Amino acid sequence: MKRAITRLESESPGDAAAKTIAEATYRRLRDDLTGWRYAPGVKLPFKELAEAYRVGVSPLREALSRLASERLVLASGQRGFRVPPVSADEMWEIIKLRQLLEREALVDSIAHGDAAWESEIVAAFHRLTRQPAGASAPGDSLSDWDRRHRDFHGALLGACSSQWLLHFIGILYHQSERYRRLRFQRADKSALPRDVDREHREIMDATLARKPRLAGELLVRHLARTGEAAAAALTDPFPVPTPAKRPLNGSKTRVTRAKR
Amino acid sequence: MKRAITRLESESPGDAAAKTIAEATYRRLRDDLTGWRYAPGVKLPFKELAEAYRVGVSPLREALSRLASERLVLASGQRGFRVPPVSADEMWEIIKLRQLLEREALVDSIAHGDAAWESEIVAAFHRLTRQPAGASAPGDSLSDWDRRHRDFHGALLGACSSQWLLHFIGILYHQSERYRRLRFQRADKSALPRDVDREHREIMDATLARKPRLAGELLVRHLARTGEAAAAALTDPFPVPTPAKRPLNGSKTRVTRAKR
DNA sequence: GAGTCCAGGAATTTCCAAAATCCAGGTTTA
DNA sequence: TAAACCTGGATTTTGGAAATTCCTGGACTC
């Protein structure tokens, strides 16, 4: 009998159990948005998206509407949907909120976690570190490492008793992913001198040792480093095509390319 | 030049600037949901809602979808939408999160607030206390006092610099309202011995005195009392028709009643 | 008698075309 | 010249009907 706990993402495998077209389109769009298939500021016209994803306007509209409620797209009046711009200020807003919420959730998770929760963390860490941090596969905008990374952070908080806390953390996680993956838009993938595996291991160790203070502090630092890395990518002029009046510069034609 | 700050609710008057039918339907449904026009657990069939609100299924579906993303309705697969059940556990989840987030936002608001922010708080408090806490008007499910109350709490946090924080607080506020207004479903409106105006005044005074610690603590206590009042209403058996297999007991027919 | 399977009916989801709205460009006017 | 005003085309939004899915009740089998 499993615990009635929602993970960061309910679907465990690739795209299991998308009961409805709107749901499937929502997930595809979400992954493509966080994976920078569309540049910030560009318009997302119904016609092009509908034929790109091979769906009608109704499920597409529902998908966009849901994404707007999570601020992964911007909905303006009767003027359609746009990709939100990026800004360092907003990025730090998101990081600071994640620090506040995820620390709280981790402390709660440590207080409530049982043996099954512990082994889930260990398993997720194992899967994460045994896999190279390869770039995204060309067909899929969400790489295996991204998935494992998400699952590891989800496992840490898996025993948190507050569904609402996890709900908000999930939304912020996707936002954060969007900024984190800005780096991979760059040609050179020179990482900051950072040992992510080690950071994850330290968080895991403190969590399993049931030291909420320490674990929370390590998690907060981990998130801060993530923010710094994203901030570095933000200062680079290349990947941020600050939307001029008409942002249809090359990247818009990519919208029309059918996803096969 | 006004500050670029989103209030708890962007629309200031009754229902100003609902650019689209979907938007207007979303707001009407939201107010009716928090105002207990529909009992917890009942199904919300498209056909009845469509003719009750005099809209087509497309905007209705979008409205319900948005409400589902804020958990004011529950969407299940291809089985339509339901009114979420109530539980004391979830209510305390919401209260505890509000305490965490609103304290943070109030501290930030105090740090950033200017003179215009101060006078907005004073004005909102004045409007709130000069009006009797009358019950909802029969035609409208959101009373004047509710609106003023919402505006006062929004004014307190009006100078908070984090849009995301305010966004989540807004969602939780509607959830909280749903539980708070459970009391008014009861026949007797015997209030707990509680001086709400005084609580509000103390919070305001500490805020304007720029005492973030004290103001935050008072706000946390205020929210705790709100939770206790709702918990009292939850224990009463009457207003919580625990949904049997088919919850079409009288309250369902009220769904069909056109809102005029 | 209990469980499984199958149809009919009801509800939701989706498609598609019509209506409403917005935007760009050109024309007129002060 | 610049601002305001139309007008045509493109885009979004909406209404309603088709398609798909789900639920209920009854018959059939073990």
- DSSP symbol at A68: H
CATH number at residue A26: 1.10.10.10
**Residue B218: enclosing H or E segment and its boundaries?**
helix B212-235
Phi, psi for residue A43 in degrees, rounded to 5: -80, 150
**CB-strand contact B55/D, under 7 Å:** yes
Q: Do A78 and B167 touch (CB under 8 A)?
A: no
Per-residue tokens: B3: 């500050």
Examine residue B183 and state whether it is found in any structural domain, yes or no. yes
- Are A80 and A94 contained in the same domain? no
> In a 3-state reduction of DSSP, which class is residue B148?
helix
Q: At what angle are helices B21-34 and B163-180 packed, to 10 degrees?
A: 50
Closest CA to B14 of B147, B137, B177, B126: B147
- pLDDT > 60? residue A246: no
Domain contains B242: no
Residue B123, domain member (yes or no):
yes
pLDDT at B138 over 50: yes
Q: What pLDDT, on the 0 to 100 scale, is given for residue A78? A: 87
- Average per-residue pLDDT in chain B? 82
SS3 state at B43: strand
- B238 vs A75, higher pLDDT: A75
Q: Does position A140 have pLDDT exceeding 70, yes or no?
A: no
Instruction: Identify which has the larger pLDDT, A90 or A194.
Output: A90
Structure-block tokens of residue A48: 């092009």
- Does A64 reside within a domain? yes
Are B63 and B151 part of one and the same domain?
no
Question: Residue B248 pLDDT more than 60?
Answer: no
The reply to whether B212 falls in a domain is: yes
Confidence of residue A112 (pLDDT cuts 50, 70, 90): very high
Q: Which of A20-29, B31-40, B124-133 has the lowest mean pLDDT?
A: B124-133
Tokens 């529950």 -> residue: B74
pLDDT in tens, B147-186: 999 999 999 999 999 999 999 999 999 999 999 988 877 6
**pLDDT tier for residue B258 given thresholds of 50, 70 and 90:** very low
Residue that finishes a domain, picked among B85, B108, B132: B85
H-helix segments, A70-135? 88-112, 115-129
Instruction: Single out the residue in A85, A101, A134 at which a domain terminates.
Output: A85
A57: left (phi over 0), alpha (psi -120 to 50) or beta: alpha
* Average pLDDT estimate for B61-81: 94
* Pair (A106, A216) in one structural domain: yes
* Three-state DSSP state, B35: coil
Least confident of A12-16, A188-192, B155-159: A12-16
User: Number of structural domains, chain A?
Assistant: 2
What pLDDT, on the 0 to 100 scale, is given for residue B200? 96
Residue A231, SS3 per DSSP: helix
pLDDT score for A186: 63
Q: What is the mean pLDDT of residues A214-238?
A: 89
Which of B81, B103, B107, B162 is most worth mutating to test chain A (most A CB atoms within 10 A of its CB)? B162
Instruction: State whether A185 and A223 are in the same domain.
Output: yes
Model confidence, pTM: 0.85
Mean pLDDT of chain A: 82
Binning pLDDT at 50, 70 and 90, where does residue B134 land? low
Which pLDDT value is given to residue A216?
A: 98
Contact A69 B66 (CB under 8 A): yes
Model confidence at B78, in pLDDT bands (50, 70, 90)?
confident
pLDDT given at position A143:
78
Same domain membership, residue A125 and residue A57: no
Task: Answer whether residue A120 shows pLDDT above 50.
Answer: yes
CATH code for position A118: 1.20.120.530
Give the separation between CA B38 and CA B52, rounded to whole angstroms. 13
A206 and A102 fall within a common domain:
yes
What confidence category does residue A134 fall into, taking pLDDT thresholds of 50, 70 and 90? low
Residues B112 and B189 reside in one and the same domain: yes
pLDDT higher than 50, residue B137: yes
Domain span at A69: 21-85
Contact map slice: A 171-230 vs B, CB within 8 A: 172
Quick one: B96 and B154 in the same domain? yes
Q: Which helix (H) or strand (E) holds B44?
A: strand B43-44
Please list, residue by residue across B103-128, b when 16 or more beta carbons sit within 10 angstroms of its beta carbon and e when fewer do: bbbbbbbbeebeeebbebbeebbebb
pLDDT confidence of residue B124: 97
Give the max Cα distance, chain B: 56
Amino acid in position B81 = F
Answer yes or no: do B54 and B95 share one domain. no
**pLDDT for the residue numbered B192:** 63
Distance CA B90, CA B109 (A): 28
Q: Out of A151-155, A255-259, B16-20, which region has the weakest mean confidence (pLDDT)? A: A255-259
Helix (H, G, I), strand (E, B), or coil: what is residue A48?
A: helix
Listing DSSP states for B52-112 in one string gives HHT--HHHHHHHHHHHHHTTSSEE-TTS-EEPPP--HHHHHHHHHHHHHHHHHHHHHHHHH
Residues of B in contact with A165 (CB under 8 A): 93, 97
Q: Kindly report which listed range (A238-247, B47-56, B121-130) carries the lowest average pLDDT score.
A: A238-247
pLDDT digits (tens, 9 = 90+) for A160-181: 999 999 999 999 999 999 999 8
The reply to whether A77 has its C-beta less than 7 Å from any atom of strand D is: yes
Residue B142 lies in a domain: yes
Tokens 């630092």 belong to residue: A221
* Chain B residues with CB-CB distance to A70 below 8 A: 69
Residue B198 amino acid letter = R
Specify if B156 maps to a domain: yes
pLDDT surpasses 90 at B195: no
Has residue A253 been placed in a domain?
no
**B114 & B57 share domain:** no
Out of A37, A54, A85, pick the residue that ends a domain: A85
Q: Are residues A102 and A231 in the same domain?
A: yes
Indicate whether A150 pLDDT > 80. yes
Q: Has residue A60 got a pLDDT over 70?
A: yes
pLDDT of A139 over the 90 cut: no
pLDDT above 90 coverage of chain B, percent: 66
**Same domain assignment for residues B75 and B190:** no
Q: Is A126 in CB contact (< 8 Å) with chain B? A: no
Instruction: Answer yes or no: are the C-beta atoms of A174 and A132 closer than 8 Å.
Output: no
Other CB atoms within a 10 A radius of the CB of residue A15 amount to 13
* Spatial CB neighbours of B142, under 8 Å, sequence gap ≥ 6: B31, B34, B35, B136
